[in-house]
Amino acid sequence: MQRRALLSTVGSLGLGSLAGCLAGTGVGDLGTESTPTRDPRRTHEDPRFGRDRYDAVSRYGVGTVADGAFPEQDPRQDVPIGCVVWNHAETGRELRVRVTTEWAERDLGSHALGPWEYVAVDFLTPMEYTLSVERDGRTVYEHDLDHQEFDCNSDGRVIRVHDDWSVDMVGGGTLAGCPGVSVTGAEVDRVEGDCADSADHDARIEYGETDVTVDGTFFTPDPCHSVEVVASSYSRADDLFRVVLDAIEDDGACADCVGAVDYELTAGFEYSFPGHVAVVHRESDGDTEVARATWNADVDLGGGDGLL
């Protein structure tokens, strides 16, 4: 199965026409001129394309396939992404591969790759990653992935390091209509006010199976206030769900003290989560973002052996 998978990935993305889009960032000019490398003939009589060469020199998994989100959903929605770092050259060379997020890093080590050999990295958990390829301590290429790419249109990415050290990336996909993030609602479930012992607004955001919960504290002139959602929206361009809350004064007499109103909010989603959630408190002098969270920010980069 592994050989068939690479035959499909490399055959469709790396050896034929450039189906799909080119993306990524080349960092550092380590060659003399960027001369395109001609793809060799796609034939198994050529020893460079013997079937044994379609087994990765090394294969790594980043994250886990099941992250607990949307367990009843079509498993094709959040699809893992397989990446190949390919020594697309007639000569051997040594390449170091590294995976980073904003909070963590995993050095996959240096790999001595013979002609046409490759390293496979399978990203199993939706998250924002940077896959870096290095030569002699210098970065020659970086490719970024974000949450939205893990959908039913996702396909492999082939990063090709050519004879002259020029690097490009070929990616593929489909034109299927993937359902994106859909917000089913956002409401405050519980409110409890008391006299405050500080005056710092805060909120804690947690992703669940199909919803995001927020436990927050809103400071008010007195404890007799309710917290309500006054605005919420999802921006696909920023992959951000933003919810704005305001404190509304209750009727009746109240204790003469500054209030701390604790609340719980639940926002429901279908198909997938937004990559980011921001909680905003509205006060008399304007809106203040009090918390922001990223889906799967705690992903385990150690992962496993990847897709087989």
Q: Which of 137, 171, 205 is the last residue of a domain?
A: 171
pLDDT of residue 64: 83
Contact status, residue 263 vs residue 187, Cβ threshold 8 Å: no
The whole model's pTM is what? 0.79
Name the token pair of 53. Answer: 């060469």
176 domain-assigned: no
Please check whether residues 167 and 45 belong to one and the same domain: yes
| Number of residues in the chain | 308
Give residue 239's domain range: 182-293
Please check whether residues 143 and 188 belong to one and the same domain: no
Contact status, residue 268 vs residue 70, Cβ threshold 8 Å: no
Residue corresponding to tokens 């998994």: 61
- Nearest CA to 174 out of 19, 292, 65, 66 is that of 19
Does 173 or 130 have the greater pLDDT score? 130
The domain total for the chain is 2
298 domain-assigned: no
CATH number of the domain encompassing residue 66: 2.60.40.10
Q: Which of 117, 145, 171 is the last residue of a domain?
A: 171
307 domain-assigned: no
177 domain-assigned: no
pLDDT of residue 16: 34
41 domain-assigned: yes
Please check whether residues 62 and 199 belong to one and the same domain: no
Contact status, residue 116 vs residue 52, Cβ threshold 8 Å: no
Please check whether residues 8 and 121 belong to one and the same domain: yes
Q: Side-chain half-sphere of 141: how many Cα atoms within 13 Å?
A: 24
pLDDT of residue 175: 65
116 domain-assigned: yes
pLDDT of residue 301: 92
State how far the Cα of 278 lies from the Cα of 294, in Å rounded to an integer: 9
Q: Which of 147, 171, 195 is the last residue of a domain?
A: 171
pLDDT of residue 178: 78
Angle, vertex CA 250, rays to CA 248 and CA 253, nearest 5: 140
State how far the Cα of 258 lies from the Cα of 222, in Å rounded to an integer: 5
108 domain-assigned: yes
pLDDT of residue 37: 40
Does 170 or 30 have the greater pLDDT score? 170
Q: Side-chain half-sphere of 107: how many Cα atoms within 13 Å?
A: 6
pLDDT of residue 267: 98
Residue corresponding to tokens 């996909």: 173
